[in-house]
Amino acid sequence: TNTATYKRGAFILFEGCDRTGKSTQANKLFEYLQSTGHSVKLWKFPDRTTPIGQTINAYLTNNQELDDKAIHLLFSANRWESLPKLKNLLLGGTTLIVDRYAYSGVSYSVAKGLDLDWCRCPDIGLLRPDIIIFMDLSIEESEKRGGFGEERYEKKNFQEKVCKSFSQLKQKDDDDSLWKFLDAKQSVERLHEQIVKISLDLIENCSQLPLKEDLWK
């Protein structure tokens, strides 16, 4: 019998606190994969371009106040509204490099004092990433990187809470093997080399697997 020729793309997720190099590494990986002939797309959450994303943007830039639970649900809705597009891309063989996802969603809301299990509920059943590249960096180090910006969450004591929530969430995550912690203190180039290697292996290994629409199920 013929072996299947169908190949799906990989869902590569970058997570971590602010100023840890997620976007830098996501961009570099995107450029690398694109220049070596892969079909690849970069996607960032929150996606501020949609109507829901514009409300999220108004909230983050302190132009609008929203109840903690209401904004949590909007961040989740912002993922659900992009699900059909992301699915089509993966099924069509395009690898997705995603900058933040439901893990940020839960961690930032837990840092405000919301319950972790409550926070996970709205994202249950979304696409599960094939890997979470977690950019691990102490607050002291991230502060050295030119300081935090002006947006709502960009404050040292809040970032400390976010870091704690991320590790709480990782401990609770049943699929522990998904998480790849990288020491984000290393140079941009060294990190990039490791990320390229991990990603090429992953793209190869998950190309024959079905899509996983079972986040936190």
> Smaller CB distance to ligand 2DT: residue 59 or 179?
59
Alpha helices in 46-155 (DSSP H): 51-60, 68-80, 83-91, 102-111, 116-120, 139-144
d(CA 78, CA 14): 17
**Least distance (Å) between residue 53 CB and ligand 2DT:** 10
Q: ∠ CA 212-40-183 to the nearest 5 degrees?
A: 75
The site that binds ligand 2DT (CB under 6 A) totals a number of residues, namely 9
Question: By C-alpha distance, which of 126, 104, 134, 132 is closest to 202?
Answer: 132
Q: Is 77 in the site for ligand 2DT (CB under 6 A)?
A: no
Minimal CB distance residue for ligand 2DT: 105
**Least distance (Å) between residue 157 CB and ligand 2DT:** 15
Which residues lie below 8 Å from residue 200, measured CB to CB, with a gap of 6+?
A: none
> Smaller CB distance to ligand 2DT: residue 76 or 95?
76
**Least distance (Å) between residue 117 CB and ligand 2DT:** 16
Task: From 103-111, 170-178, 189-197, 209-217, give the range in contact with ligand 2DT by CB under 6 A.
Answer: 103-111
> Phi then psi for 6, rounded to 5 degrees?
-60, 130
Token pair in block for residue 136? 């691990």
From 42, 60, 121, 198, residue interacting with ligand 2DT (rule: CB under 6 A): 60
> Smaller CB distance to ligand 2DT: residue 166 or 203?
166
d(CA 158, CA 138): 13
DSSP 45: S
Q: Which of residues 108-147 bind ligand 2DT (CB under 6 A)?
A: 108
**Least distance (Å) between residue 99 CB and ligand 2DT:** 6
Q: Is 45 in the site for ligand 2DT (CB under 6 A)?
A: yes
Token pair in block for residue 154? 């960009």
**Strand, helix or coil for residue 135:** strand
d(CA 99, CA 45): 6
Q: Is 59 in the site for ligand 2DT (CB under 6 A)?
A: no
Residues near ligand 2DT (CB under 6 A): 45-46, 60, 75, 100, 104-105, 108, 153
